Amino acid sequence: MTTLKSVDAKQAKQWIDSGEAVLVDVREPAEHAAERIPGASLAPLSAMTPGAVADAKGKIVVYHCKSGMRTQTNAAKLAACASGEAFFLEGGIEAWKRAGFPVQR
């Protein structure tokens, strides 16, 4: 896999709620600590290496950042870090909030 496809917040939440997907926050620790999507694991882009998200165990990996730009810009790197199918959350955590889904502060 060399790229990521986008997924909207509604579809991502359905996959996560059904157990089909895991959500991975690629922002830095301070950003994650300030505001995060419940259940998202933290794997900062700055420390991401191939195979870093291998623990997804056959699940879809959905990466997110603040607005979607970081994940889009680094799509090839992030795709290489997942062991299977991977997507980026279109619009990031900001789109998640606009869709009315919860965040923790």
How many whole angstroms separate alpha carbon 66 and alpha carbon 2?
22
* End-to-end Cα separation, the chain, in angstroms: 34
The answer to whether residues 63 and 96 touch, using CB atoms and an 8 Å cutoff, is: no
Segment 39-58 mean pLDDT: 83
Residue 15: predicted pLDDT:
97
Segment 5-26 mean pLDDT: 96
Domain 5-98 CATH assignment equals 3.40.228.10: no
pTM listed for this prediction: 0.92
pLDDT by residue (tens digit) across 54-85?
Answer: 667 789 999 999 999 999 999 888 988 887 88
Residue 48: predicted pLDDT:
87
Mean pLDDT of the chain: 91
Q: Is 14 helix (H, G, I), strand (E, B) or coil?
A: helix
